[in-house]
């Protein structure tokens, strides 16, 4: 599959220069989720730097962040490459994520501040807009950001870091294994979770999170090899 992949400059379509690592990260992640860069593809620093008009140092920071999130695999003296989770790995990630999320949602409900709730609502509104404009992969990425911001509200740094390494990988799994006939709108469930958190209704928030993760897993076709 990687042999058929377009060259990086044409693939990414970036004409801007002097982008920061923070600006490049979502663009590269969206390209990954859209599978314009197929699973397992090499990610040479020089080619990516040329594509984005930045130095290899900037690209190295982006790849380092994606590596921390398990989306990119890096080994000493080897070119980084995209992760290609198989169905067994996908199930393990989803199981670990459920354990973390069902703990964090209770803590977030107890500790959420009004300003954090407003930020979550703005994020879900962006997710809704991208979903309704057919920008599926950007909506998937923003949905992942919702869960990571919710985890930060729990003020348990080790658990939040653990989830930070699972949510982006889950986004990659969704993009690869989601059934094409799926009509599931995650943003609506995210909005309902925010309502429960804002009310301080821990039992409702936990139940909604379980239902949300159930639907997330149900829409994945893990009996296939993915749509790489």
For the record, the structure tokens of 145 come out as 């950001």
Work out the burial of residue 15: count CB atoms within 10 Å of its CB; fewer than 13 is exposed, 13-18 middle, 19 or more buried: exposed
Rounded average pLDDT over 143-148: 92
More confident residue, 89 or 38: 89
**Ordered domains of the chain (ranges, CATH):** 2-82 (1.10.10.10), 87-218 (1.20.120.530)
Q: Which pLDDT score is estimated for 100? A: 94
The pLDDT of residue 224 is: 58
Q: Write the CA distances from 111 to 55, 150, 191, integer angstroms.
A: 41, 11, 18
pLDDT at 2: 38
Give 192-206 pLDDT, tens digit per residue. 999 999 999 999 999
Q: Taking the CA of residue 109 as centre, how many other CA atoms within 13 Å lie in the half-sphere pointing to its CB? A: 23
């Amino acid at each position: 599959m990687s042999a058929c992949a377009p060259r990086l400059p044409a693939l990414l379509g970036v004409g801007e220069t002097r982008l920061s690592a923070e600006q490049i990260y979502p663009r590269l992640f969206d390209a990954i989720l859209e599978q314009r860069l197929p699973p397992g593809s090499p990610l040479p620093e020089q080619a990516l730097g040329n594509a984005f008009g930045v130095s290899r140092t900037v690209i190295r920071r982006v790849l380092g962040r994606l590596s921390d999130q398990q989306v990119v695999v890096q080994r000493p003296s080897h070119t980084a490459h995209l992760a290609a989770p198989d169905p067994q790995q996908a199930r393990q990630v989803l199981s670990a994520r459920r354990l973390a999320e069902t703990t964090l949602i209770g803590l977030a409900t107890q500790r959420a501040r009004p300003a954090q709730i407003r930020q979550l609502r703005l994020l879900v509104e962006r997710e809704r807009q991208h979903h309704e404009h057919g920008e599926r992969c950007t909506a998937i990425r923003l949905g992942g950001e919702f869960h990571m911001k919710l985890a930060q509200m729990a003020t348990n740094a080790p658990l939040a870091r653990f989830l930070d390494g699972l949510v982006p990988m889950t986004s990659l799994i969704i993009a690869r294994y989601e059934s094409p006939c799926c009509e599931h709108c995650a943003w609506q469930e995210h909005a309902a979770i925010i309502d429960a958190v804002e009310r301080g209704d821990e039992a409702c928030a936990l139940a909604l999170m379980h239902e949300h993760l159930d639907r997330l897993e149900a829409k994945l076709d893990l009996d296939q090899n993915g749509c790489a």
